[in-house]
Structure 1
Amino acid sequence: MHLALWISAGLLTAVALAGGISKTFVPREKLAAAHGGGWTGDTGAGFVKTLGVLELLAGAGLSLPAALGVAPTLVPVTAVCWLLLMAGAMITHARRGESAFVALNLIYLVLAAFIAWGW
């Protein structure tokens, strides 16, 4: 069980860091042109960058506290925050008719729920 939690946290950490880096450092216009990134064209650049920073923080919060042994209770707290972020992502993609991204975000949400429950 402990190994499954670490694998789940590692996977979500990679997802959060990849999404955070792209939303924080890639121009919004380029994100809007990418597959699944059309929603960024409907929002402000500041909102997209804020989501990117939140995802970077989530990436750190999903693994660093437990790995360093400093405030490991932050891992399930971060997982719950990730749940909320994924719920919002699912709503956004559902409104745009992007069912594949809704399903992908649901997988991330389930992984986060597993981490929040098991950590």
Structure 2
Amino acid sequence: MNVVVWIASGLLAAVFLASGAMKLTATKEKLLANPQMGWATPFPRGLLKFIGAAELAGALGLILPGAFDIATWLVPTAAIGLSALMIGAVITHARRSEFQAVAMNVVLLALAVFVAVERLGPQSF
């Protein structure tokens, strides 16, 4: 089961690393040019950068502490934080009737909750 948790953590880390890096490096205008980023229109640039930084920190927090066996309590903490981000994403996309995005966010939420539960319980370090 530990391998399954590592795979789920790796998938989550890859998704959030890419998403967070994109939000941190692109301008708001460039983000809005992407049709899938229409949700970002009402949000200030600083909040988008904060979301990107949180996604990037969560991605690193899922992998690095466990890989180096240092401060392993950060792994479930990162998973919980990413779960909170995904709850916000589900609400935001549901309000805009972007149901394909809602479905993807629910899958990411489920994976993050799975990692958090496993790393707090039976598969803790």
Does the pair score TM above 0.5? Answer: yes
2:57 is equivalent to residue 57 of structure 1: yes
2:9 is equivalent to residue 9 of structure 1: yes
Alpha-carbon deviations, 1:48-94, whole Å to 9, x = none? 01111111101110110000100111101110111110000000001
TM-score, scaled relative to structure 2: 0.92
4+ residue segments displaced more than 2 Å:
none
How far apart are the structure 2 equivalents of 1:80 and 1:37? 24
Amino acid at match of 1:66: G
How far apart are the structure 2 equivalents of 1:50 and 1:73? 23
Amino acid at match of 1:42: P
Aligned Cα root-mean-square deviation (Å): 0.8
TM-score, scaled relative to structure 1: 0.97
Report the CA distance between 1:25 and its aligned residue: 0.4
Amino acid at match of 2:83: L
Amino acid at match of 1:13: A
How far apart are the structure 2 equivalents of 1:60 and 1:110? 19
Percent identity of the aligned residues?
A: 44
In structure 1, list runs of 5 or more residues that go unmatched.
none
* Contact 1:12/1:59, CA 8 A, preserved across alignment: yes
**Matching residue of 2:122:** none
**Matching residue of 1:116:** 116
In structure 2, list runs of 5 or more residues that go unmatched.
120-125
